[in-house]
Chains A and B, each alone.
Chain A
Amino acid sequence: MSAAPDLEADVLARLHPFRQPHLLGVDGLTPPDVEALLDLAEALIPLSRRPAKRLDLLTGRTVVNLFFENSTRTQASFELAARRLGADVLNLSPRTSSMSKGETLIDTAKSLNAMRPDILVLRHGASGAAHLLARHTEAAVVNAGDGAREHPTQALLDALALRRAFGRLAGLTVAVCGDVLHSRVARSNTALLSLMSAHVRLCGPPTLLPTGVDRWGAEVFTDLDAAIAGADAVMMLRLQTERMDGAYVPSPREYARFWGLTRERLARAAPGAKVLHPGPMNRRVEITGELADDPTVSLIAEQVEMGVAVRMAVLASLSARREAG
Chain B
Amino acid sequence: MNPLLIRNARLLDPEGGYDGPGAVRVRDGFVFEVLRSAQADSAGAEEVVDARGAALAPGLIDLRARGTPDGVSRLAAAAGVSTAVLASDPSAPADGPARVAALAAPGRAGARILPAAAATQAMEGERLAEIGLLHEAGAVLVSDGDRAIGDSRVLRRVLRYAAGFGVPVAHRPVDVHLSRGAVAAEGEFAARLGLSGVPDVAERIGLERDVAIAEGTGAPLHLDGLSTAVGVAALAAAKARGAPVTGAVAIAHLCFNEVDMGGLDTRFRLDPPLRPESDRRALLDALADGTVDVVVSGHLAVPPERKHVPYAEADPGGATLHAFLAALLTLHHAEGLPLLDLLRAVTLHPARLLGLPSGRLQPGAPADLVLFDPDAPVVMDTLGSPFDGRRLQGRVLSTWVGGRRVYEAARSPAR
Contacts and interface: CB of A to CB of B under 8 A. Distances in A.
Contacts of A75: none
B164 A250 contact: no
Interface string B349-377: 00000000000000000000000000000
| Majority-rule SS of B interface residues | helix
Nearest to A251: B130
A222 interface: yes
Contact of A250 (B121, B136, B163): B121
A234 B132 CA distance: 22
Given A207-B128, A245-B127, A253 B133 contact: yes
Given A205-B164, A206-B164, A207-B160, A246 B127 contact: yes
B126 A246 contact: yes
Nearest to B136: A257
Interface in A248-273: 248-251, 253-254, 257-258
Contacts of A257: 132-133, 136
Contacts of B157: 207, 247-248
A248 B157 CA distance: 7
A222 B164 contact: yes
Interface in A93-129: none
Given A246-B120, A246-B121, A250-B121, A206 B129 contact: no
B314 interface: no
Contacts of A250: 121, 127-133, 161
A247 B121 CA distance: 10
Interface in A197-213: 205-207
B128 A246 contact: yes
A254 B95 CA distance: 12
Contacts of B164: 205-206, 222
A258 B128 contact: no
B133 A206 contact: no
A247 B132 contact: no
Interface in B124-152: 126-133, 136
Interface string B159-179: 011011000000000000000
Contact of B163 (A206, A245, A253, A254): A206
B96 to A, nearest CB: 10
A5 to B, nearest CB: 58
Nearest to B153: A247
Nearest to A258: B132
A261 to B, nearest CB: 16
Contacts, number: 44
Interface in A206-258: 206-207, 222, 245-251, 253-254, 257-258
B137 to A, nearest CB: 11
A302 B120 CA distance: 41
Interface string B233-277: 000000000000000000000000000000000000000000000
Contact of B161 (A205, A245, A251): A205
B133 A247 contact: no
A206 B130 contact: no
Nearest to B162: A206
Given A246-B120, A246-B121, A250-B121, A207 B130 contact: no
A222 B136 CA distance: 16
A205 B128 CA distance: 12
A258 B134 CA distance: 12
A212 to B, nearest CB: 13
B130 to A, nearest CB: 4
A254 B130 contact: yes
A207 B130 CA distance: 13
A107 B128 CA distance: 42
A249 B128 contact: yes
Nearest to A223: B164
B214 to A, nearest CB: 14
A80 B33 CA distance: 78
Interface in B201-236: none
B161 A253 contact: no
Contacts of A253: 130, 133
Contacts of B163: 206
Given A246-B120, A253-B133, A254-B132, A206 B127 contact: no
A125 B320 CA distance: 56
A249 B121 CA distance: 11
A247 B161 CA distance: 11
Contacts of B161: 205-207, 250
Contacts of A205: 161, 164
Nearest to B121: A246
Contact of B133 (A207, A245, A254): A254
A247 B156 CA distance: 11
Given A246-B120, A246-B126, A250-B121, A206 B160 contact: yes
A226 to B, nearest CB: 12
Interface in B67-123: 120-121
A246 B121 CA distance: 8
A63 to B, nearest CB: 41
B258 to A, nearest CB: 38
Contacts of A207: 128, 157, 160-161
B127 A247 contact: yes
A251 B136 CA distance: 15
A246 B163 CA distance: 16
Contacts of B132: 250, 254, 257-258
Nearest to B216: A211
A230 B120 CA distance: 35
Contacts of B120: 246
B94 to A, nearest CB: 14
A222 B132 CA distance: 12
A280 to B, nearest CB: 24
Interface of B: 120-121, 126-133, 136, 157, 160-161, 163-164
8 contacts: A207-B157, A207-B161, A248-B128, A248-B157, A249-B128, A254-B130, A254-B132, A257-B133
Given A245-B127, A250-B128, 13 more contacts: A206-B160, A206-B164, A207-B128, A207-B160, A222-B164, A246-B120, A246-B126, A247-B128, A250-B127, A250-B131, A250-B132, A253-B130, A254-B131
Interface of A: 205-207, 222, 245-251, 253-254, 257-258
Closest 6 pairs (CB-CB, A-B):
A246-B127, A206-B164, A206-B160, A250-B130, A222-B164, A254-B130
